[in-house]
A and B are shown apart, each in its own frame.
Chain A
């Protein structure tokens, strides 16, 4: 089977830094993605890690440790507009097959003024 775990809620203030953790168990792991979803909106892609280490994209960074089956999304200089749900998702499949993306249950981030 497969499972992903992430905190259900995180609260932080504007300007702060917040880290959303994700642990996973799956076979045929290829990589870990992060998606953002505002209330009433569509999930949108933020980042992807296939190799161990940190990927930085502006205020957002994502980290992966394959040996620990663990990753996190780091959001810096938080802004009110960052209030949203954040989903980690594992990409898995066998060689030559279609990759399947399985989502975690999401973390609701609330940014306070």
Chain B
């Protein structure tokens, strides 16, 4: 069973298009995240949701809009894609208040977005 699953795994699209990446976790966690990893492997948090409520919204263009229909799902919609959006986008989840392991975050396998 995949704990955090995201689709699609690979996405090649043209500049200006709108695309979505879906994410689901079956761990029963109450917090979900979107991270962006660039070509230099720098892993940066974009958004965090706790029980469907946005709690972290880092400085990302407003072309990026997360949507959490329930606490097991966090989708990422990107409008007007630009070349610089090419990256790997990781969905992740954790359980808030978890003492053991601090913020143990479970990552999905990543969605490789290429904008041409």
Tell me the bound Cα distance from A44 to B41 in angstroms: 14
Does A105 lie at the interface of the complex (its beta carbon under 8 Å from any beta carbon of B)? Answer: yes
How many residue pairs at the A-B interface have CB separations less than 8 Å?
63
Tell me the bound Cα distance from A107 to B19 in angstroms: 32
Contacts of B40 in A (CB 8 A): 105
Contacts of A89 in B (CB 8 A): 103
B107 touches A99 (CB 8 A): no
Tell me the bound Cα distance from A105 to B40 in angstroms: 8
Q: For window 4-56 of chain B, which residues contact chain A by CB distance below 8 Å?
A: 31, 40-45, 48, 50, 55-56
Tell me the bound Cα distance from A42 to B42 in angstroms: 13
A43 touches B56 (CB 8 A): no
Interface mask (A4-45 → B, CB under 8 Å = 1, otherwise 0)? 000000000000000000000000001101010100011111
Contact A30/B107 with A100-B45, A105-B41, A106-B41 known, Cβ cut-off 8 Å:
no
Contacts of A108 in B (CB 8 A): 41
A106 touches B42 (CB 8 A): yes
Chain A interface size range:
20 to 34
B101 touches A45 (CB 8 A): yes
Contacts of A33 in B (CB 8 A): 101-104
Chain A residue nearest to B96 (CB atoms) is A98
- Measured CB to CB, the closest approach of chain A to B109, in angstroms, equals 5
Does A101 lie at the interface of the complex (its beta carbon under 8 Å from any beta carbon of B)? Answer: yes
- Chain A residues engaging chain B, CB cutoff 8 angstroms: 30-31, 33, 35, 37, 41-45, 48, 50, 85, 87, 89, 91, 98-103, 105-106, 108
List 9 A-B pairs, minimum CB-CB distance, nearest first: A42-B107, A103-B43, A48-B102, A31-B102, A91-B103, A99-B103, A101-B103, A48-B101, A98-B55
